[in-house]
Amino acid sequence: MQNGIMKDWLDSSHLYGANIAYVEELYEAFLEDPESVPDDWVAVFNALPHRSNIPDDVPLSPLKEYFLRLARDNNSRISSSAQDPQTGSKQVKVLQLINAFRFRGHQHAKLDPLELWKQPRVPDLDPAFHNLEDSDFNQAFNVGSYAIGRETMPLDELYRSLQKTYCGSIGAEYMHITDTEEKRWIQAHLESVEGCGNYSKDDQIRLLKSLTAAEGLEKYLGAKFPGAKRFSLEGGDSLIVLLKELVRSSGSAGLKEVVIGMAHRGRLNVLVNVLGKTSAELFDEFAGRHDSAWGTGDVKYHQGFSSDFATPGGNVHLSLAFNPSHLEIVNPVVIGSVRARQDRRGDSCLPITIHGDAAIAGQGVVQETFNMSQTRGYSVGGTVRIVINNQIGFTTSNPRDSRSTQYCTDIAKMVQAPIFHVNGDDPQAVAFVGQLALDFRNTFKRDVVVELVCYRRHGHNEADEPNATQPLMYQKIKKHPTPRKVYANQLTSENILEDSEVNSLSNGYRDQLDRGECVVEEWRPMTGHSVNWKPYLNHSWDIEYDTRLDIDKVKELAEKISIYPDSHKLHPRVRKVYEDRALMAKGEKPADWGFAENLAYATLLDSGAGVRLTGQDTGRGTFFHRHAVLHNQDDGSTYFPLKNLSDQQGPFYLYDSVLSEEAVLAFEYGYSTAEPESLVLWEAQFGDFANGAQVVIDQFLSSGEQKWGRMCGLVMLLPHGYEGQGPEHSSARLERFLQLCAEQNMQVCVPSTPAQVYHMLRRQHIRKIRRPLIVMSPKSLLRHPTAVSSLDELASGRFYNVLDEIDELIPEQVEQIVMCAGKVYYDLLDARRKAEQTNVAIIRIEQLYPFPYEDISQLLEKYQHVKQFVWCQEEPQNQGAWYCSQHHFFAAIPDNAKLRYAGREASASPAVGYMSLHLEQQRALVQDALTIK
């Protein structure tokens, strides 16, 4: 086989037969650093037997002999010039020079419009470094794989071409990619056109129009609303060029939707000049007018927008995601939203995420999002990531203080994304890399980065004084012409446009703003958008719903989720779970948690709804209860009973997630805000870890609908319960969620039986409301002998916000009512039964928010005489439901009744670390709750 490879090479390589000294030299370079030699040679050397058979310190003579023998065997030509040791050696140097430009040309590229960057001198880019002398410049050399379309070139021409391709307005970083095809593709697309596109006059006018719009809007706003915060794009104006060209090309490439995520800088410009928000609407926002029907609202530079955009390939739907101030967090949200759209309509939606130079290097969620980009559960076939590098981190920081890497984009190398740095003052180069990036993404389905190197013309906001901290940069910026001016000057000096034409573009744009019009020619009203949110609008929680199902249907589905092919050999423990499920399906064993939960999904899937469930151990369940994926012990293949219900069923997506909370929860939030017709669930490995995603909970889940009118039906399953596993495996921080509850923004539930989890999940989908559901889900209850339900309860019941006492107490004898939620109920029940106590009733509040006043008051009707109430919880007093919900408890009991707390003392840590102490505390709180004081 090696001989075969060598033969191919010998037959095809122009360098074949070049003298051995040259090959030796190349080979030595390869042994030292395989990346230092051209790829063709890497392939050749890798095919040599040295790797496996010849130790590294062996003299090179076997190599010589090997080559000569192969040459002789192949009877191939040996050119006389190639036998000249001098020429052959130079030839190698020329190839090394090409390689040096491919590797490091970007370090000499003219990227900074302000020319303030101090680029290190790169010796390898100097021909002299490779012993290429002036006398060699007129000589023709073979250019190897340099994709200029010629086999040989005089060195001086080659050198100029390399500089033009790799050291102009574009700095291409791609040699870190190990896939040869991808590298070759980039080389072909860059080198064949020497790093610049071919733009007609019409194209150039289009680019100038984009720059005119970018600049025109900011100037107009600056004049009309002086001092008002707008986080101007100025300096990075060519972002508008880049975005519009990307959208245009997306349409031509057959894409139908583009979802964009970005932070505040330049956002108003994108809203008006790309998405087509009317200037009148924006001006109204500046004037402080707002839509009172729409919750608490948000500042104008966080607003999203949707529209259609006409392209030569048809209309493309555009969606700019709403975002909070937390810079990078919107990006996984966008990617989740795109995945939902792709799951619905195929691969026709493109994500574009826009980053800042300091944030992309500084915020960990960027790494998490890159890491997700090629995984099964989160891939979207590549994201085009744009970095607006205005050379200032946050408000005033210079790059030395905001990162430890040369480029702010270095993080992208972790997924071998190509990175195109481009000078923001060269709109043609910007348009060219936009096209290149999109084509790369569409071809290889991988992330790609465009770094728009620019500057920030004003301070952080318009009231800020940038000279105070960046005096030199701002002296330079003051004198520097705007990107529009730079390009207009270029076009007029090349006699492509007259000054008057340039001016009329600016005046025309300003007139449109005066009239409050939409300024995007390509804007079209939204049509044919298949997600209809109308059914979910304007409902309160008391809307009617029914989670019952015919018992025969329940049994049929129960059987289907309990079977698997005979040939699929299960692990004995899993087989036992499935044997039990088969009995549960027949009603011969009461339903446990895993069975009821899987059955809930089956019923929804059977109705045609989709279900997406992700989390770190979701297939199996952290606590071995779910087993929605069956692993064949013979061959490792998998079987999903929930994917095999019927031909008409809805799609079931289940993925073990990457080890992240922040990005994955943001992704699932994005997914569910774009997909109301599926039940979307994220499960934390332990509920404690959800605080790794606190920003998603605070900024999106709990407040997104109020701020932005964006609904989201995401379910968070958070294992919670005090079982002696220490401070980090006990509490899902119930108090944090309850504290965020207001205005019916979400539900917080603590289901305590399989029937309850079954109906709760069904309710979440069937009820035409899409608001987050936060679930404190159990651990030991998954297998608790009392925590079971009958098939009838599943078929004919519903989710009960409050569960009454289950033992047959005589209400008149009850002197005290203990209210509680979750696992502690079973401890209380057990202790009371052991003590044969009949004067204390225990009721469970299964939904803590929205608080079920009515259900409680109905339930308490038979206990009108009871004046002693206890709230019992496992969590310390400063945590759990007592802390945030006691006002609800007080309001729910009769006016003249007393309510006291039974639970752990206030504590800095959620739980103790010692089992013995835990047990003592648990026994004491249960005892306290059952004691009548």
Residues of this chain that interact with ligand AMP (CB under 6 A) are 306, 319, 529, 533, 673, 710-711
Give 413 or 710: the residue with its C-beta nearer to ligand AMP.
710
Six-digit token pair at 285?
Answer: 């926002």
Work out how close the CB of 247 gets to ligand AMP at its nearest, in angstroms, rounded to a whole number. Answer: 13
Work out how close the CB of 306 gets to ligand AMP at its nearest, in angstroms, rounded to a whole number. Answer: 3
For the beta carbon of residue 916, count every other beta carbon within 10 angstroms.
Answer: 9
Torsions phi, psi for 690 (to 5 deg): -60, -25
**Sign of the dihedral through C-alpha 625, 630, 631, 634:** positive
Give 581 or 710: the residue with its C-beta nearer to ligand AMP.
710
Work out how close the CB of 144 gets to ligand AMP at its nearest, in angstroms, rounded to a whole number. Answer: 48
Six-digit token pair at 70?
Answer: 């192969």
Give 352 or 841: the residue with its C-beta nearer to ligand AMP.
352
Identify the residue whose tokens are 């989670």: 547
Crossing angle (nearest 10°) for helices 238-252 and 201-224: 130
Work out how close the CB of 267 gets to ligand AMP at its nearest, in angstroms, rounded to a whole number. Answer: 16
Work out how close the CB of 337 gets to ligand AMP at its nearest, in angstroms, rounded to a whole number. Answer: 7
Neighbouring residues of 870: CB distance < 8 A, sequence distance ≥ 6: 816, 817, 818, 819, 899, 900, 901, 902, 929
Work out how close the CB of 307 gets to ligand AMP at its nearest, in angstroms, rounded to a whole number. Answer: 8
Give how far the C-alpha of residue 386 lies from the chain's centroid of Cα atoms, to the nearest Å. Answer: 14
Work out how close the CB of 707 gets to ligand AMP at its nearest, in angstroms, rounded to a whole number. Answer: 12
Give 712 or 818: the residue with its C-beta nearer to ligand AMP.
712
Six-digit token pair at 76?
Answer: 């191939």
- Helices and strands (H and E) in the chain: how many: 32, 25
Give 130 or 710: the residue with its C-beta nearer to ligand AMP.
710
Q: How far apart are the first and last CA of the chain?
A: 88
Work out how close the CB of 547 gets to ligand AMP at its nearest, in angstroms, rounded to a whole number. Answer: 23
Give 713 or 719: the residue with its C-beta nearer to ligand AMP.
713
Are 731 and 687 a contacting pair, CB within 8 Å? yes
Work out how close the CB of 673 gets to ligand AMP at its nearest, in angstroms, rounded to a whole number. Answer: 4
What's the longest Cα–Cα distance across the chain?
113
Are 666 and 700 a contacting pair, CB within 8 Å? yes
* CA distance linking residue 694 with residue 710, whole number of Å: 19
How many alpha carbons fall within 13 Å on the CB side of residue 310?
Answer: 6
* Total number of residues shown for the chain: 933
DSSP states along 833-862: HHTT--SEEEEEE-EEES--HHHHHHHHGG
Q: Could you tell me which of 587, 585, 657 has the C-alpha nearest to residue 620? A: 657
Give 557 or 716: the residue with its C-beta nearer to ligand AMP.
716
Based on the number of CB atoms within 10 Å of its own CB, is 648 exposed (0-12), middle (13-18) or buried (19 or more)?
A: exposed
Give 278 or 319: the residue with its C-beta nearer to ligand AMP.
319
Six-digit token pair at 703?
Answer: 């407040």
> What are the Cα distances from residue 752, in Å, to 224, 778, 847, 892?
59, 8, 10, 21
Work out how close the CB of 714 gets to ligand AMP at its nearest, in angstroms, rounded to a whole number. Answer: 11
Strand ordering across the sheet containing 384-389 = 170-173, 419-423, 448-453, 384-389, 349-356, 257-261, 314-320, 305-311, 523-524
Give 163 or 348: the residue with its C-beta nearer to ligand AMP.
348
Give 319 or 753: the residue with its C-beta nearer to ligand AMP.
319
Give 129 or 541: the residue with its C-beta nearer to ligand AMP.
541
Work out how close the CB of 338 gets to ligand AMP at its nearest, in angstroms, rounded to a whole number. Answer: 10
Give 321 or 881: the residue with its C-beta nearer to ligand AMP.
321
Based on the number of CB atoms within 10 Å of its own CB, is 178 exposed (0-12), middle (13-18) or buried (19 or more)?
A: exposed
Identify the residue whose tokens are 């446009």: 497
Work out how close the CB of 717 gets to ligand AMP at its nearest, in angstroms, rounded to a whole number. Answer: 21
Phi/psi region, residue 142 (left: phi>0; alpha: psi -120 to 50; beta: rest), is beta
Work out how close the CB of 710 gets to ligand AMP at its nearest, in angstroms, rounded to a whole number. Answer: 4
* CA distance linking residue 860 with residue 863, whole number of Å: 5
Crossing angle (nearest 10°) for helices 201-224 and 427-444: 110
* CA distance linking residue 628 with residue 599, whole number of Å: 10
Work out how close the CB of 744 gets to ligand AMP at its nearest, in angstroms, rounded to a whole number. Answer: 15
Q: Could you tell me which of 622, 782, 627 has the C-alpha nearest to residue 686? A: 622
Give 317 or 560: the residue with its C-beta nearer to ligand AMP.
317
Amino acid at 214: A
Give 258 or 591: the residue with its C-beta nearer to ligand AMP.
258
Give 530 or 648: the residue with its C-beta nearer to ligand AMP.
530
Work out how close the CB of 709 gets to ligand AMP at its nearest, in angstroms, rounded to a whole number. Answer: 6
Based on the number of CB atoms within 10 Å of its own CB, is 288 exposed (0-12), middle (13-18) or buried (19 or more)?
A: exposed
* CA distance linking residue 241 with residue 431, whole number of Å: 7
Give 529 or 900: the residue with its C-beta nearer to ligand AMP.
529
Give 319 or 390: the residue with its C-beta nearer to ligand AMP.
319
Work out how close the CB of 304 gets to ligand AMP at its nearest, in angstroms, rounded to a whole number. Answer: 7
Work out how close the CB of 771 gets to ligand AMP at its nearest, in angstroms, rounded to a whole number. Answer: 10
852-891 CB burial, b ≥16 within 10 A, e <16: beebbeebbeebeebebbbbbbbbbeebbbbbbbeebbee
Give 329 or 408: the residue with its C-beta nearer to ligand AMP.
329
Work out how close the CB of 195 gets to ligand AMP at its nearest, in angstroms, rounded to a whole number. Answer: 35
Residue 663: its H or E element:
helix 662-673
